[in-house]
Amino acid sequence: MCGIVGYTGQNPAANILVTGLKRLEYRGYDSAGVALAERDATGTYTLNIIRRVGKVSGLESELNGHSSTSTCGIGHTRWATHGRPTQANAHPHISCDGRIAIVHNGIIENFAELREELIQRGHHFSSDTDTEVFAHLIEEAYEGNESSGIPATHKLLDALRIACTQVVGAYGVAAIAADEPGTIAVARKDSPIVIGRGEHGSYVASDVIALIDATRDVVVLEDGQFALLTPNKIIYTDDQGTPIEPAVTHIDWDIDLAEKAGYPDFMLKEIFEQPRVVRDTLVGRLTGAGELDIDELGLSFEELNLVDRVYVIACGTSYHAGLIAKNLIEAWARIPCEVEAASEFRYRNPIITPSTLVVAVSQSGETADTLAAIRDARIKGAKVFGVTNVVGSPVARESDGVIYTKANKEIAVASTKSFIGQVVSLTLLAMLLGQVKGKLTTGQTRMLFRELGDTAEHIQTILDTQQQAIQSAATACKDAPSALFVGRGMGAAVSNEGALKLKEISYLHAEAYAAGEMKHGAIALIEPGFPVIAVATKSAVYDKVLSNLKECEARGAKIIAVATEGDHEIEAIADYVIYVPPTREAFSAITATVPLQLLAREVARLRGCDIDQPRNLAKSVTVE
């Protein structure tokens, strides 16, 4: 959560920082700010702090009114944790004398004690944030070091290192000091930091997307590593101050990923990428002998064969991918599978033995609850398999094995393509478990694999043919105060995702219900015109879903159905029908989800909502 960026070089810093912050805005957009080291007519440097509540565009307008010549600065876009989204709580935060400024991602767990101690030592606080203690701790160490003979260019870095020894929690932090113009000191623990050298200077950010215009060769800072950026070079050290030479990672993805490429918003662009995601996630996964090949599996077939219980742990949309996986794992491998919100799992005492497989699903690979649940499961002896979209992310690093979802960077806050990548990856895992347990033959696996691959084309068909139907359905429910999403089996799992998408981007209340459960309570909500969105694709329970929909129709519900091409029976009940190509029931979750994503987006568009950056949300949830 939150985004940080820093630049020191030959060019004006303000524009570079704003461009970087815009790229990072998906991580939080409650407020934005920059600190710029400015030189006055007498040659003295001061730090110019400019902060605004709201999006980066507000900060940009403000900066346009300043004629900054600074070539060194740091910036931040915030998702509020400690303290309301006010200007005072916006980063950068400064020391008492205003000569040190910092930006920070993460949480300082012992901030209350530190703040109390700092106040007793005479420091003045101007925000409610946990971050501000960092600025004061650096200030103390910086002044304390004055007489210790540390060369001036290293003082800030040393002070930052000392401050880090006092802080408990997670941080990606960048600091500048008026007395060391042109340098940025950086530290990392449990919060991502990438650093790179471009033609015109040195860059730091919390995500490579903010510096990819300047360089494709970056250092991904490890926990406990530090860096000092100057316009012409970057020094890296360990936590003792000993110089190190970290590995350089080459970024090979295309800059187009960071742009909308002609689409009105990233969400639509990412929905349209889904056929590619299916194909990429499947590349190289089936051997000529009909066996599944998951090279990052990290678990032997013997170990997998011993698995007698699976937990899928995840949050939000990733949790919904888990609901789909449960159906497949139990159907194909006949292993009991439970799906649990990571935030619940970590505080229960789940039954875990060495033959338990925990599957942790996370797009970002850095969700705090999912990570904590992984750590807990491993301590209790489970094997953990990660499903993530981010190579080298904490979920990938802390799991025994991993499968990457190949969705590539997802920028819209609402997950779409990464969900499809997760479902495809979990489907592969279910097939693998089925093979290992001797329940699926290689012939069956080949057939399933081929049909799974066909869903790429099915998604394309939906994108090409159903836009008009989706628009009509969206128009019909855009003003409803609430909606129900219903289905059975796979359809029930998909309904959860449909309801979440509608809630998060259109702010319409929506609830998912197993269709058969409606008559036990929720049907009381239905009155004439109430929208019921049904996943009614052909399946073993299709007739049952139809009966449930008739019960809703009888009470005047407005029914929007996602149905299988060629099904005309549904037209007699539903007011609006969105068709998806026929598939095996196991893969219907992939096809049925796409219209629900488009429906949510269209409702949000009609309601004038911010599709890519819905209120109160952020892309990575690195707090509990």
Smallest separation, CB 343 to ligand F6R (Å): 10
Distance CA(495)–CA(511), nearest Å, equals 8
Task: Name the catalytic one among 2, 72, 337, 477.
Answer: 2
2 is a catalytic site residue:
yes
* Nearest of 551, 495, 503 to residue 523 by alpha carbon: 551
Q: Assign 545 to helix, strand or coil.
A: helix
CA end-to-end distance (rounded Å), the chain = 12
User: Does position 414 bind ligand F6R by CB under 6 A?
Assistant: yes
Binding test (CB under 6 A) with ligand F6R, winner from 8, 202, 356, 367: 367
Give whichever of 407 and 492 is closer to ligand F6R, judged by the CB atom. Answer: 407
Distance CA(68)–CA(13), nearest Å, equals 8
Binding mask 483-512 for ligand F6R (x = CB under 6 A): -----------------x---x--------
* Nearest of 489, 564, 495, 484 to residue 530 by alpha carbon: 484
Give whichever of 216 and 607 is closer to ligand F6R, judged by the CB atom. Answer: 607
DSSP one-letter string for 436-468: HTT-S-HHHHHHHHHHHHHHHHHHHHHHHH-HH
Find the part of the chain contacting ligand F6R (CB under 6 A) among 168-176, 253-261, 363-371, 600-608: 363-371
Give whichever of 75 and 322 is closer to ligand F6R, judged by the CB atom. Answer: 322
Binding test (CB under 6 A) with ligand F6R, winner from 68, 105, 127, 317: 317
User: Does position 399 bind ligand F6R by CB under 6 A?
Assistant: no
**Long-range contacts (CB closer than 8 Å, 24 or more residues apart) made by 187-191:** 187/160, 187/161, 187/225, 187/226, 188/221, 188/222, 188/223, 188/224, 188/225, 188/226, 189/106, 189/164, 189/223, 189/224, 190/106, 190/223, 190/394, 191/105, 191/106, 191/622
Find the part of the chain contacting ligand F6R (CB under 6 A) among 19-27, 309-317, 523-531, 593-601: 309-317
Find the part of the chain contacting ligand F6R (CB under 6 A) among 14-22, 27-35, 254-262, 312-320: 312-320
Give whichever of 345 and 449 is closer to ligand F6R, judged by the CB atom. Answer: 345
Give whichever of 423 and 561 is closer to ligand F6R, judged by the CB atom. Answer: 423
Distance CA(340)–CA(344), nearest Å, equals 7
Smallest separation, CB 201 to ligand F6R (Å): 32
Q: Which residues contact 533 (CB under 8 A, 6 or more apart)?
A: 477, 483, 484, 485, 486, 495, 498, 559, 560, 561, 562, 596, 599
User: Does position 316 bind ligand F6R by CB under 6 A?
Assistant: yes
Binding test (CB under 6 A) with ligand F6R, winner from 131, 191, 274, 363: 363
Give whichever of 500 and 589 is closer to ligand F6R, judged by the CB atom. Answer: 500
Smallest separation, CB 375 to ligand F6R (Å): 15
Both tokens of residue 119?
Answer: 């106040």
Smallest separation, CB 500 to ligand F6R (Å): 6
Q: Which residues contact 73 (CB under 8 A, 6 or more apart)?
A: 6, 7, 8, 13, 14, 17, 34, 35, 36, 37, 176
Binding test (CB under 6 A) with ligand F6R, winner from 318, 466, 506, 539: 318
Cross-strand pairs, 8:
72, 202
Distance CA(243)–CA(581), nearest Å, equals 59
Task: Name the catalytic one among 155, 326, 409, 619.
Answer: 619
Distance CA(407)–CA(274), nearest Å, equals 8
Smallest separation, CB 445 to ligand F6R (Å): 27
Residue nearest to ligand F6R (CB): 316
How many CB atoms neighbour CB 441 within 10 A?
A: 12
Give whichever of 94 and 414 is closer to ligand F6R, judged by the CB atom. Answer: 414
User: Does position 196 bind ligand F6R by CB under 6 A?
Assistant: no
Rg (CA), the chain: 26
Phi first, then psi: give them for residue 235, nearest 5 degrees: -110, 135
Smallest separation, CB 370 to ligand F6R (Å): 5
Find the part of the chain contacting ligand F6R (CB under 6 A) among 12-20, 228-236, 357-365, 464-472: 357-365
Q: Is the peptide bond before 92 cis (omega within 30 degrees of 0)?
A: yes
Find the part of the chain contacting ligand F6R (CB under 6 A) among 9-17, 275-283, 311-319, 551-559: 311-319
Smallest separation, CB 417 to ligand F6R (Å): 11
Local structure of residue 247 (DSSP, 8 states): P
Find the part of the chain contacting ligand F6R (CB under 6 A) among 103-111, 258-266, 313-321, 379-387: 313-321
CB 267 within 8 A of CB 505: yes
* Nearest of 427, 411, 413 to residue 312 by alpha carbon: 427
Query: How far is it between the farthest Cα atoms of the chain?
Result: 85
Give whichever of 8 and 318 is closer to ligand F6R, judged by the CB atom. Answer: 318
Total residues contacting ligand F6R (rule CB under 6 A)?
15
CB 591 within 8 A of CB 580: yes
Find the part of the chain contacting ligand F6R (CB under 6 A) among 193-201, 314-322, 551-559, 588-596: 314-322
Binding test (CB under 6 A) with ligand F6R, winner from 415, 496, 537, 539: 415
User: Does position 340 bind ligand F6R by CB under 6 A?
Assistant: no
Identity of residue 483: A
User: Does position 370 bind ligand F6R by CB under 6 A?
Assistant: yes
Smallest separation, CB 94 to ligand F6R (Å): 32
Give whichever of 202 and 370 is closer to ligand F6R, judged by the CB atom. Answer: 370
Give whichever of 101 and 315 is closer to ligand F6R, judged by the CB atom. Answer: 315
Q: Where are the beta strands (DSSP E) in 307-404?
A: 309-314, 337-341, 356-362, 383-388, 401-404
* Nearest of 269, 241, 36 to residue 156 by alpha carbon: 241
Find the part of the chain contacting ligand F6R (CB under 6 A) among 54-62, 359-367, 488-496, 551-559: 359-367
| Footprint on this chain of ligand F6R (rule: CB under 6 A) | 315-318, 362-364, 367, 370, 414-415, 500, 504, 620-621
* Catalytically annotated residues: 2, 619
